[in-house]
Every structure is written in structure tokens, then in C-alpha cells.
A = this chain, B = another copy of it.
Amino acid sequence: MHSAITSAMGLRCTARVSRTFATVPGMKKVAIVGSGTLGSQIAFQTAICGYDVSVLDISQDAVDKCAAMHKAFAASFVARQGGAQARGWVGIADEYGGDAQAAADATLARLSYTTDAAEAMDGVDLISESVPENTEIKLATYGPLHKHAPAGAIFTTNSSTLLPSQFAEVTGRPERFMALHFANGIWDFNVAELMGHPGTDPKVYKQVQKFTDSIQMVPILIHKEQNGYVMNSLSVALMTAAQDLVVRGVASPEDVDRCYMLTPVGGPLGPFGLMDMIGLRTVVNVNNLWGKVLSDQHIGQQMLANGAFLQENYLDKGKLGIMTGNPATDTAEGFYTYPNPSYMDPDFIAIKK
């Protein structure tokens, strides 16, 4: 996904990997609990790296949608072999003598789908939970999993905003529970944040780190609980400052992105391009939620003002961003107009003639 963006990023990715395709010794089956945007990606990435993966969701409709998504991911994996390789997929086809279709077929064969917790938990070594980002739902999820899973299985949550200590007790196995947080588009943005709670066994943290490596993610080691982990702590700070400049009429979204892209830390898109990818509804939700939590601080007031501005000027006008769509091909409105938003044009940061 986002192939035009990531082809630029792919240039940073050297393909000189000579590795042995290997799961972690003693780990064979992984269960993915919750098969939405991220859950379905984690399931596919885990299966393509050689694990047997059982996908668990609450309805047949949900798991059917996930299975369909996996066929699309498999087709995308095959289609992308000729171009810039996703970092999380480097070397995978080599495990099949360069036959990407064989790799895709084997991946799909390793994936199974169920609405039955007992079936999903049977013989599982590691669980990755991606149910909706809602405390009540997450609290209700772990009991049945613990009941059916082997005592030695490690539980991980993919939460990006909630802390593992909030759920440690209900997992029934607090010492074998921690956060393992992935980014949307995980084979392109192949980073995983590891964060325990105070009761997490260091050996479990280490084992999860090995698992992270084995599914071709770059591990980010977080040493204490932190709202927003590392990734969102940085990106929320950047996006809040960027929105504030636009809300107060200092500069346009395009000029803010352009300026950012031209600095030494600048990437292939700027904060407003990122917000379109995240989806403006989510950006508004984050602004409103954290704006309230931090309302006694200046940044909380900025976030509330940013949320109100985006609601009025974007959401209320049906401009929602592009989310999981492909900016190069899909039609959408956000800060930019898709397909082919102006920031993807080399002229966006080129000198004027």
C-alpha cells in the first residue's frame, strides 16, 4: 500500500539481506485476536514469516473480510516483487527460490480463521490482541483467551494509546503480558514498539523481541510505560504543532508540509500528508480526547482548537483523508485531493522556474 510514497522510502532500504528464514525456536503458532486494519496486517506478516496463524474475531463476517483482505495482501506481495521492496518483505521470496507466488500460497495456507476462542487458543505460543481501542472491550477480551490458552503462551496487546498495566491483571498472566505495537502498513513501516508493565518478566520481553525480529520488524525498546509509546509521542507533537500553525493562519498546510519535507529530518511526506493517511476522523478524536485530558495545559488547548477547526473545515465538509486507501490511485479529499496529491509531485519541493 501507499506504493508511490514507499517507493521513495524504499530507496533507503538495502536489499542485501542474507538471512535464514526462521521462526523463534519453540514458537510455532500465533493467534491474532481482532481482525481489523492492523490485526489483519499483523496476521499476514506473521504468516508470511513462517508461523501458523489463527485469526480470531467475534463474527463470521469479520473473519471472512479478513480472509479476503489476506488474498489481496498476497496479490500485492506478488505484484510488488518487481519494484521497491517493502522492508518487511525483503528476502521472503528467496525462501521459495524466488517464487513469490509460492511464498504467497504458502502464507495463505498457514492462515486459519475462527470465531471460537478455544480453537484459536489451542496450542498457541503467542497472542497479539488488536480489538478496538476501547478499555471496556479490551478488559472483556482477555478472560476467555486466558482460559483456553496454554499456560506458557505470551499475550501481547497492539494498543497504541492504552497502557499494558491497565490490562495486566485481567490477562490472568501478568508476568507473560506486554505491549507489542505495530504501525499501519507494517511491511512498509516495519517497526514494532515493545513496552512491558512493571510486572512483565524480562525473559518474556526478550522472547517477544526475538519474535519481533523473526517477523522482520525493527524493535523499538521502551523501558517504561509511556502514553503514545515512542512513535505517537513524536508524531502527535509534530502534528499538533503543524495544525496549530494552520489553525492560527500562519501558513497553509501545503507550505507547512513543504517546509518540513525540505529540512534534514524531512521525509517523503509532511505532517498534513500523514494526517490524511491516518484519517481526519482519528486525528479529530485524538485532538478531542487528549485535548480534554491536557486541558489545563497550553498544548491541551491547542489540541481542542485543532479538533474544532478540523471538524468544521474538513469532517463537516466530508473531507476525511485517505486512510488505508492508496494515495496514488484512490479518490479522496482531505488536506490534499487524491489521487496524486500535490505533495507526491516532485515539483512540490522543486525550485520555481
Contacts and interface: CB of A to CB of B under 8 A. Distances in A.
A189 B264 contact: yes
Most chain B C-beta atoms within 10 Å of own C-beta, residue among A90, A262, A298, A350: A262
A250 B13 CA distance: 27
A133 interface: no
A220 B259 contact: yes
Nearest to A90: B351
A12 B349 contact: yes
A42 to B, nearest CB: 16
Interface stretch (A102-110, A122-130, A239-247, A329-337): A239-247
Interface string A1-33: 010010011011110011110000000000000
A262 B245 CA distance: 25
A353 B216 CA distance: 9
B264 A87 contact: no
Nearest to A297: B298
A255 B350 CA distance: 32
Interface string A265-279: 111111101100100
Contacts of A252: 221
A53 to B, nearest CB: 19
A244 B218 CA distance: 22
Contacts of A242: 234
Contact of A216 (B231, B237, B349, B351): B351
B12 A8 contact: yes
Contacts of A88: 351
Contacts of A219: 352
B218 A258 contact: yes
Interface in A251-265: 251-252, 255-256, 258-260, 262-265
Contact of A245 (B2, B226, B346): B226
Given A2-B264, A216-B351, A298-B298, 18 more contacts: A12-B349, A17-B350, A87-B350, A87-B351, A189-B263, A189-B264, A193-B259, A218-B351, A220-B255, A224-B249, A230-B255, A231-B259, A237-B237, A263-B274, A265-B271, A297-B297, A297-B298, A298-B299
Interface of A: 2, 5, 8-9, 11-14, 17-20, 87-88, 90, 183, 185, 189-191, 193, 213, 216-224, 226, 230-231, 233-238, 240-242, 244-245, 248-252, 255-256, 258-260, 262-271, 273-274, 277, 294, 297-299, 346, 349-353
The 9 closest A-B pairs by CB, nearest first: A237-B241, A191-B262, A213-B352, A267-B267, A220-B259, A14-B346, A230-B259, A297-B298, A216-B351
